[in-house]
Amino acid sequence: MRTYIFQIGQFVPIFVFFFSVAITVYLRHRQIVEFYWHRLKQVGRWRITSCVLLWIGYFSAFGVSVVGNFQENNVIIVHYAGALLAFGCGLIYTWAQTVFSYNMNPKLAKPIVSHCRLMLCVISTMFFITMIVFGPILGKQPNSFVPDAEGHLYKWTVDSPNYIEHMIGTCSEWLLAICFQLYILSFAIELRHAYCHAPKLRLMPFYDDFDTNGCVTNEKSIGCDDLQTIESNKSLSKKVNKISDSSSKQETMVVRIKF
């Protein structure tokens, strides 16, 4: 663990993996909306708080993306700024989501899940402080952040000054990242029964003189297999309801696609 975890962010597998953070953050936001609005019909500050946390989570994912795009050997200032953004926003996000977890207990998960998340937040905060103190402050080596003529950074050895402080900061960063991964993994307990479906498509012909007053719309659900049959047989009329208006005798086609 002589190397900071974000020094491997320039490699493609790690860089691609970082984008999954934004997807997880969005799914968690939709879960909160489903719980408070669609289930409990509650109106309050939870929506604003969840939207703010959504953007904080996006900033954390953006910081991780910055680390992958701006390598340490090239733009080190931007690289470490992205790392600080990822860990700082991530820490705020985990603490706030822990509060939501306690508020939604025990309908979504057992209280033990919230207790484990609280413990991960406390440990992550400790590791974040030690990473900042023993990393770039006490464990800094002169010219350690300046690449040499070949573009390589300073290589730490046992005989290097502040080696112990550097190791404490490095280990704290790795353990902090592990705590974040465990925290994100805990969302699987609540999201294991969740599912997503594609948006519903509604096709309507455009007429400038079309009168929608008194028009009754009947919709029919069409599955994925039916769509393939429509495309192959060129028989869209079999899956589309034609709605006639008695006065104008104009037709409207409505297709609702369900996945």
pLDDT range class, residue 44, cuts 50, 70, 90 = confident
| pLDDT for 142 | 55
Using an 8 Å Cβ cutoff, are 85 and 93 in contact? no
Single pTM value for the model = 0.67
Bridge partners, residue 256, by sequence = 221
Residue 56 has pLDDT above 90, yes or no: yes
Q: Which residue stretches of the chain are H helix?
A: 12-17, 20-33, 46-69, 76-103, 111-132, 163-191, 224-233
DSSP annotation of 259 reads -
Taking only the tens place, the pLDDT of each residue in 197-220 is: 777 777 777 655 555 454 444 444
Nearest CA to 59 out of 110, 106, 21, 10 is that of 21
Bigger pLDDT: 223 or 194?
A: 194
Q: How far apart are CA 140 and CA 173, in angstroms?
A: 15
Q: Residue 24's closest CA among 67, 64, 74?
A: 64
Q: Spell out the domain ranges in the chain.
A: 1-141+161-192
Query: Which is more confident, 125 or 169?
Result: 125
129-142 pLDDT, tens digit each: 998 888 776 656 55
d(CA 81, CA 72): 11
